[in-house]
Amino acid sequence: MSQTNRPHGANWRDFAWLKQFMPRGLYGRAALILIVPIVSLQLVVSVVFIQRHFNRITVQMTDAVVAEVSLIVSQANASKTVDQALEAARRIATPLDTRVALPSDPVTTQRQLSDFTGTRVVSTLEQGLSDLIGVDLETNRALVTMAISTDHGILRVVLNRDRVSATNPHQLLVLMVVTGFLMTLIAYLFLRNQLRPIRRLARAAEAFGKGQVLPYRLAGATEVRAAGKAFLDMRSRIDRQIEQRTLMLSGVSHDLRTPLTRLRLGLSMLEDDARDDLQRDVDEMERLVDGFLGFAQADALEDAPEQVDPVEFVHHLAENAQRAGMNVTLGEVADLDERPLRRASLERALDNLLGNATRYGSRARLSLIQGRGDLRFVIEDDGPGIAVEDREEALKPFARLDKARNQNKGSGVGLGLSIASDIARGHGGHLRLGDSADLGGLKVELVLPL
């Protein structure tokens, strides 16, 4: 039978709407898991207790009173005169702590709404005493006042309320609710201690995603500790790998410089037609080596985040670029407050992007935009842009697209975009390539979380 074909029975999807009412945080969910069973248990116990146990006790107690009153009434009826009837009734009633009066006024049946055993008392009395006229439980709540018709007129019987129903039945319920509440509170406090390590782990992992290393100490239950340990191992492994890559790249670049310098020296002493070509090759190699070194430093450049005013920062970048002879203008600049940013690395990333824009196009525009939950540095140019299918490739290290297009401007190493992308990720953000609607060239967005 196919699994999807299930016409009968509840599917979990049917309860999907419930999800929107559920708390999202771990605290809320844990509290719910804790409180729901306790409250349900209390409800069930209360209902069953009142329904069964409590009602049955009331009925049993009232039945005993019915027997006594029936005896009083039958003795009164057996008497000849009113006085003899009252005398006979008293003889039985007095030792039973019951007061009687004859003849007397009728009584109307009434009880308070909150008196939930009262219903049972009245119905049991009515059933057991066929000549009952009325029962008053309201006028004096500590007493039960009955009027019964006898052969000698209306007989009034008054007895204490605690003879027909247990007193203060709600005490147990109040006690239960109060202890339930106290227990929930205590459990919640314990639970909070258990949840704290999970939240700390989440914070440390989130910070690491943004390139910050928060101190993290293993704590909490075994499972949380295991997750924390795995996280710490992962963090140090990633750190180690970055360090190794940096060391290797800078080592190689550094070691290549010495033979290159020797080559250049040797070349300058050569008298040959091929000398200029060789010289150009050496220049190219030096530029590449410089590029590698720069790339390696992008990781090594672990500048600590500092408070940066993004608006001032953008103006500073544009001015610097203009002074370097680039045709850079400012577009929209959102009014954003100071925030912690790695100024040096960000400047390096954006310089690279501005360099690309003016190298592959003729003018560039720099904007600062506030998006939903992020801030974006946007650089647009009027160059040829990058085709959609080449964008992923262009972000990789040492990727140079379409040699022909940059011939006259000298070919790059292919690291600019990948450095910018690395830096964006180090901030917990990313680099996005698109088309500039206004200028017609490439649009690069460096997106950072707010």
Residues lying near ligand ATP in the complex (CB under 6 A):
291, 352, 356-357, 360-361, 381, 383-386, 394, 399-402, 412-418, 441-442
Identity of the residue, 211 or 355, whose beta carbon is nearer to ligand ATP in the bound complex: 355
Identity of the residue, 356 or 358, whose beta carbon is nearer to Mg ion in the bound complex: 356
Shortest spacing between CB 402 and Mg ion, in angstroms: 13
Shortest spacing between CB 5 and Mg ion, in angstroms: 57
Amino acid at 211: G
Instruction: Kindly list the distances between the CA atom of residue 34 and the CA atoms of 28, 190, 432, in Å, as whole numbers in the listed order.
Output: 10, 12, 45
Of 437, 73, 435, residue with least CA distance to 445: 435
Residue with smallest beta-carbon separation from Mg ion: 416
Six-digit token string for 376: 């974006």
For the chain, what's the residue count? Answer: 450
Shortest spacing between CB 315 and ligand ATP, in angstroms: 22
Task: Name which of ligand ATP, Mg ion, none residue 291 binds, using a CB cut-off of 5 to 8 Å depending on partner kind.
Answer: ligand ATP
Shortest spacing between CB 400 and Mg ion, in angstroms: 9
| CA angle (207 as vertex; 205, 212 as ends), nearest 5 | 125
Identity of the residue, 180 or 355, whose beta carbon is nearer to ligand ATP in the bound complex: 355
Identity of the residue, 426 or 441, whose beta carbon is nearer to ligand ATP in the bound complex: 441
Identity of the residue, 66 or 431, whose beta carbon is nearer to ligand ATP in the bound complex: 431
Q: How far is CA 167 from the centre of its chain?
A: 47
Shortest spacing between CB 285 and ligand ATP, in angstroms: 14
Identity of the residue, 99 or 376, whose beta carbon is nearer to ligand ATP in the bound complex: 376
Task: Name which of Mg ion, ligand ATP, none residue 66 binds, using a CB cut-off of 5 to 8 Å depending on partner kind.
Answer: none
Task: Name which of ligand ATP, Mg ion, none residue 392 binds, using a CB cut-off of 5 to 8 Å depending on partner kind.
Answer: none
CA distance linking residue 369 with residue 356, whole number of Å:
20
Q: Please give the backbone phi and psi of residue 190, each rounded to the nearest 5 degrees, phi first.
A: -65, -40
Shortest spacing between CB 327 and ligand ATP, in angstroms: 13
Task: Find tokens 């029962």 and name the residue.
Answer: 135
Task: Name which of ligand ATP, Mg ion, none residue 177 binds, using a CB cut-off of 5 to 8 Å depending on partner kind.
Answer: none
Binding site for Mg ion (CB under 5 A): 356, 412, 416
CA distance linking residue 320 with residue 315, whole number of Å:
9
Task: Name which of ligand ATP, Mg ion, none residue 360 binds, using a CB cut-off of 5 to 8 Å depending on partner kind.
Answer: ligand ATP
| CB-based burial, 74-113: b 16+ in 10 Å, e otherwise | ebbeebeeeeebbebbbebbeeeebebebebeebebebee
115 in Cβ contact with 168 (< 8 Å): no
122 in Cβ contact with 111 (< 8 Å): yes
157 in Cβ contact with 72 (< 8 Å): yes
Shortest spacing between CB 223 and ligand ATP, in angstroms: 44
CA distance linking residue 363 with residue 135, whole number of Å:
100
Shortest spacing between CB 417 and Mg ion, in angstroms: 6
Please report the beta strands in 112-239, taking only residues with DSSP state E, as ranges in sequence order. Answer: 132-136, 143-150, 153-160
Identity of the residue, 327 or 370, whose beta carbon is nearer to Mg ion in the bound complex: 327
Shortest spacing between CB 351 and ligand ATP, in angstroms: 10
Identity of the residue, 54 or 292, whose beta carbon is nearer to Mg ion in the bound complex: 292
Shortest spacing between CB 385 and ligand ATP, in angstroms: 6
- Which own/partner contact pairs does 215-220 have at CB distance under 8 Å and 24+ positions apart? 220/194, 220/196
Task: Name which of ligand ATP, Mg ion, none residue 385 binds, using a CB cut-off of 5 to 8 Å depending on partner kind.
Answer: ligand ATP
30 in Cβ contact with 195 (< 8 Å): yes
Element (H, E) at 279: helix 275-300
CA distance linking residue 350 with residue 423, whole number of Å:
10
Determine the angle formed by the axes of helices 343-360 and 310-323, rounding to 10 degrees.
40
Determine the angle formed by the axes of helices 26-48 and 170-209, rounding to 10 degrees.
170
Identity of the residue, 118 or 385, whose beta carbon is nearer to ligand ATP in the bound complex: 385
Identity of the residue, 197 or 416, whose beta carbon is nearer to Mg ion in the bound complex: 416
